[in-house]
Amino acid sequence: MSQRIPVVEKILSANDRLAAENQSSLDAANVFAINMMASPGAGKTSLIEQTLKGLEGRLRIAMINGDIATSFDADRAQAAGATAIQINTGGDCHLDAVMVQSALSQLDLGILDLLVIENVGNLVCPADFKLGTHKSVLVASIPEGDDKPYKYPGMYRGVNAVVINKIDLLPYVPFRMDFFKKGIEVLNPGVTQFELSCRSGEGLAGWLAWLEGQVKEFKGIHAK
Amino acid sequence: MHELAVTESILEIAVRHAQGKNVGRITDLYLVIGQWSSIVDDSVQFYWDIISDGTLAKGATLHFRRVPVVLTCQDCGNEYQPASEEFACPNCGGTHARVKTGEEFQLEAIDVED
How large is the ipTM? 0.86
Residue B71 near residue B79 (C-beta atoms within 8 A): yes
| Residue A96 resides in a domain | yes
| Residue A115 resides in a domain | yes
Instruction: Note whether A7 contacts B13, CB cutoff 8 Å.
Output: yes
Instruction: Note whether B38 contacts A11, CB cutoff 8 Å.
Output: no
Which of A71-80, A132-141, B88-97, B103-112 comes out lowest in average pLDDT? A71-80
Where on the phi/psi map is residue B58: left (φ > 0), alpha (ψ -120 to 50), or beta? beta
B82: containing domain: 3-18+25-113
Task: Give the nearest partner residue to A11 out of B1, B6, B87, using CB atoms.
Answer: B6
pLDDT on residue B1: 55
Angle at A114 between CA A108 and CA A115, to 5 degrees: 70
| Residue A217 resides in a domain | no
Of all residues in chain B, the percent with pLDDT exceeding 90 is: 77
Residue B66: is its pLDDT beyond 90?
A: yes
Task: Report chain B residues whose CB lies below 8 A from the CB of A190.
Answer: none
A100: containing domain: 16-212
Q: Tell how strand A61-67 and strand A83-88 pair up.
A: parallel
CATH number assigned to the domain comprising residue A163: 3.40.50.300
pLDDT on residue A67: 82
The answer, for A14 touching chain B at a CB cutoff of 8 Å, is yes
Q: How many domains does chain A have?
A: 1
Instruction: Note whether B13 contacts A11, CB cutoff 8 Å.
Output: yes
The answer, for B38 touching chain A at a CB cutoff of 8 Å, is yes
The mean pLDDT of B55-84, rounded to a whole number, is: 95
The answer, for B25 touching chain A at a CB cutoff of 8 Å, is no
Instruction: Note whether B106 contacts A9, CB cutoff 8 Å.
Output: yes
Chain B closest-CA separation from residue A86 CA (Å): 20
Instruction: Note whether B2 contacts A6, CB cutoff 8 Å.
Output: no
Task: Report chain A residues whose CB lies below 8 A from the CB of B21.
Answer: 5
Q: Whole-angstrom Cα distance, residue A196 to residue A117?
A: 20
Instruction: Note whether A150 contacts B110, CB cutoff 8 Å.
Output: no
Give all strands of the β-sheet with B97-101 in edge-to-edge order: B79-80, B70-73, B97-101
pLDDT tens over chain A, length 224 residues: 789 999 999 999 999 999 999 999 999 999 999 999 999 999 999 999 999 999 999 999 999 998 877 777 778 877 777 788 988 887 778 899 999 999 999 999 999 999 999 999 999 888 889 999 999 999 999 999 999 999 999 999 989 999 999 999 999 999 999 999 999 999 998 999 999 999 999 999 999 999 999 999 999 987 65
Q: How many domains does chain B have?
A: 1
CATH number assigned to the domain comprising residue B76: 3.30.2320.80
Residue B53: is its pLDDT beyond 60?
A: yes
Task: Give the nearest partner residue to A124 out of B1, B9, B88, using CB atoms.
Answer: B1
pLDDT on residue A92: 77
Residue B81 near residue B34 (C-beta atoms within 8 A): no
